């Protein structure tokens, strides 16, 4: 698949077949992230690949936080519950962390980790896999990082990965004119 085909074909996948993902495909995903560019080549990303019980521990943490909220707070967090369900269904969950950095490097390192995540999403598409980039972990990210032994790292996101059991249509995007700002006349 050509790069631009993968960019056009990629979708957020929220339904997965239970079929496990071959270890060499997971390695290919991590390899594509490894090759990503980063500010000052700091390579600030770290990945943890979870399946089975370990994966279930992440969604258990998310659910126990949700259960502590009052009903009004819960109403505003329905997508947290639906995302946890997707995470349970996907055979693989990749936790994505940013290594500790100075205040000055936060933006650079965070966008670098984001770029590496997109490498994974595009490579997943190329390999016939589906992926979902997840930030609903943000409410519990400190607990998750500590529970998995890395309390000093900033959890940036999680990625659900597996064989897609849906083929969603392209989601809407702004037009080019809407995203290119006119440069002021000088």
Residue 48 β-bridge partners: 95
Q: Does 65 bind ligand FMN (CB under 6 A)?
A: no
Q: Does 140 bind ligand FMN (CB under 6 A)?
A: no
* E strand intervals along the chain: 45-50, 92-98, 130-134, 154-162
| Candidate residues 59, 83, 112, 123; the one interacting with ligand FMN per rule CB under 6 A | 83
Q: Does 150 bind ligand FMN (CB under 6 A)?
A: no
Q: What are the CA-CA distances from residue 91 to residues 23, 51, 53, 120, 163 (Å)?
A: 12, 6, 11, 16, 8
| Candidate residues 1, 6, 12, 99; the one interacting with ligand FMN per rule CB under 6 A | 12
Three-state DSSP class for residue 40: helix
Contact range with ligand FMN by CB under 6 A, out of 104-112, 128-136, 142-150, 178-186: 128-136
CB of 68 to ligand FMN, least distance (A): 19
Residues near ligand FMN, by CB under 6 A = 11-12, 14, 83, 132-136, 171
């Amino acid at each position: 698949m050509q790069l631009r085909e993968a960019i056009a074909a990629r979708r957020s996948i929220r339904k997965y077949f239970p079929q496990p993902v071959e270890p060499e495909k997971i390695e290919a995903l991590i390899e594509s992230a490894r090759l990503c560019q980063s500010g000052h080549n700091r390579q600030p990303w770290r990945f943890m690949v979870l399946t089975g019980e370990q994966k279930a521990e992440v969604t258990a943490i998310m659910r126990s936080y949700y259960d502590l909220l009052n009903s009004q707070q819960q109403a505003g967090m329905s997508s947290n519950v639906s995302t946890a369900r997707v995470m349970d269904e996907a055979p693989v969950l990749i936790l994505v962390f940013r290594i500790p950095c100075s205040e000055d490097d936060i933006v650079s390192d965070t966008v670098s980790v984001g770029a590496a995540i997109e490498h994974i999403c595009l490579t997943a598409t190329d390999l016939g896999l589906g992926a979902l980039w997840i930030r609903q972990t943000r409410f519990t990210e400190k607990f998750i990082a500590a529970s998995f032994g890395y309390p000093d790292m900033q959890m940036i996101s999680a990625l659900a990965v597996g064989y897609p059991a849906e083929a969603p249509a392209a989601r809407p995007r702004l037009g080019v004119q809407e995203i290119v700002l006119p440069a002021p006349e000088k």
